[in-house]
Structure 1
């Protein structure tokens, strides 16, 4: 083949520019990810930069000098109690919501009623994103001390506050958190339950396995990573909640987010903002461990869901 023919073929395949063809791959890849640029910019401005600022200020005092005193103080006294209470609240609400949410999601799947499934998924999406002051007001207006349901039941001879329980205690806060935790569990665990194929159950039955054996040796091992990952997500969701607890308890229950709000705003103790950043750094560490575990479990779950 002559040199002229080789040049002609090269110009045909590269559009007349020998260097142009080599750029098509990178340019095509760049165009593919252009849509993600706004997401990265948004995440950088409202997540990465504030997180970095919290970490830096946690190691500085009011004069700007580097110190570890903030971190030491953040794990002593009432602040240590706040971490303990926050972790306990998150664990109880997450475990309770995981159990009831899983049972509800499984019932939706086995019912095989399309309309019911769509309605519950839509409602769960709304409830899972409901929180803050509106949610606190909803519970106060319904089962508060003078709430509509409370007064109605009292007229019927049922006093829900007769045993000393109130909505504004630790257990009341758990009840309120379940309002958005259970729907979130339904949304997260439903795809994993859908991944349990009917032919697996039929194959196990044809081999003589009972329902209990199917769940013990097939379903539970497959669903365990997804369930645990959802449990971690619920924990993180509860651990970081602020507005609902603040509106409902007014700071009477020591929780880390409430302590941070008080310290940073200077409502309780002046010149303690950096201690609030140290508490925030502690929350970042806890959430970081939890979400790392969640990501690893989700990756493991995705392997059999995609097969």
Structure 2
């Protein structure tokens, strides 16, 4: 086995494809190719992933991701039509009174640099203003103390890798000590809430695979994973943040739409009723390079 090899685990029936991130004597550190899962495994339990298996799973995940993107795009088109009708009052809309958009700004902290890059590409595709930083889960609370006043986001995404620890004796799903990084996500949420306690002015999306859903919500997250302690797709937090970014400040985020846009569904992501961050402005912003202006000042 070599770094970067695609592998599956015999003991789990080869259910998930991983990439070898690090080799440690007779063990390997693994990262999921499509799911936010960090695992370790004895080398003897690993086999190189059959190319057919990997391609099928990647294709399935990509298809589900494309469905989510298509659903989001349809909802955005419907939103645009509603805004046009609202402004025009049924009359033909002129360019002079056409509107402009101010979607909510996202600050995305990710414990995985590869998933961070994938996430930023999706934000760009969905036209969500976003700033991303790769930060190890243990350093996210300190990073937020520094970044929140600088970025002043409407939405914070706190994600990376997590999971229920396999070898801990007397594993208790109520205890944070049974999870790999949930305690770090809780610390980061608390740091963000010290900056802004208002659940509607700062929307927090937190968690990764099998995270302690209840603890994250109780700490101040609006949306979190994972109610069913299942694996979540790498892009699920992005879709939730995008929905918050383009939901009007006059409306609450439609929970059914949120769950419908995520790949993992209601067992992977949940949350509480929260207002959106999107604002509409009038009139449409001008292209200043083409604007003809007569100077009026010395």
- State the TM bucket, normalised to the shorter chain: under 0.3
TM-score by length of 1: 0.22
Higher relative contact order (CA 8 A, sep 6+): 1
Higher helix share: 1
